[in-house]
């Protein structure tokens, strides 16, 4: 199971959020608090995550700014469904729990990942993945969960 650690913990630089797998740092995420942009270091590869129109997108840092390798967009607000594309592979995203704000990710009906949270006062997203999901794709989905959690918290605070 992958989870986001606390900012600056596990030997990561100040401002970096570690992506943990069993307590070991496997990637780092540099996400801004109130903007839907981030950079990620996954192995030797750097990713840029952001928002383009109504989509959350991901590209390698060396790609042109209009390139998109990973994307996610909401298809139904009322049902909480999303669709994602991971390097050309379509992924169906459905709500696993409205109360917890968690999601299930499926490819052709086959489970790919399921999100969760850890912590109570300041919950951080977790992601349980299928063995064939690449770490690059898992980090993007974990960032999507972080963005959706922040959106949910902002909406709840506004009410």
Digit-coded pLDDT (tens) for 92-131: 999 887 766 789 999 999 999 999 998 777 789 999 999 9
Q: Give the residues across from 125 on adjacent strands.
A: 117
Q: What's the pTM value of the predicted model, to 2 decimals?
A: 0.92
Model confidence band, residue 34 (pLDDT cutoffs 50, 70, 90): confident
Mean predicted confidence (pLDDT) in 57-66: 96
Contact 91, 79 (CB under 8 A): no
Helix (H, G, I), strand (E, B), or coil: what is residue 146? helix
Model confidence band, residue 53 (pLDDT cutoffs 50, 70, 90): very high
Return the pLDDT at 97. Answer: 76
Q: List the structure tokens of 120.
A: 């109570």
Q: Which residue has the higher pLDDT, 34 or 46?
A: 46
CA distance 23 to 15: 19
Model confidence band, residue 138 (pLDDT cutoffs 50, 70, 90): very high
**Measured CA distances, 66 to 51, 52, 76, 152 (Å):** 11, 9, 25, 28
């Amino acid at each position: 199971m992958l989870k986001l650690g606390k900012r600056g913990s596990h030997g990561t630089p100040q401002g970096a959020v570690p992506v943990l797998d069993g307590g070991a740092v496997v990637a780092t995420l540099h996400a801004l608090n109130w903007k839907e942009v981030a950079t990620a270091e996954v192995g030797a590869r750097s990713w840029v995550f952001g928002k383009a129109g109504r989509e959350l997108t991901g590209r390698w840092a060396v790609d042109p700014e209009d390139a998109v390798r990973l994307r996610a967009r909401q298809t139904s607000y009322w049902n909480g469904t999303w669709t994602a594309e991971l390097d050309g592979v379509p992924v169906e995203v459905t709500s696993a729990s409205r109360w917890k704000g968690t999601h299930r990710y499926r490819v052709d009906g086959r489970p790919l990942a399921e999100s969760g949270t850890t912590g109570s006062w300041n919950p951080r997203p977790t992601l349980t993945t299928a063995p064939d999901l690449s770490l690059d794709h898992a980090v993007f989905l974990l960032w999507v969960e972080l963005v959706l959690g922040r959106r949910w918290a902002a909406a709840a605070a506004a009410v």
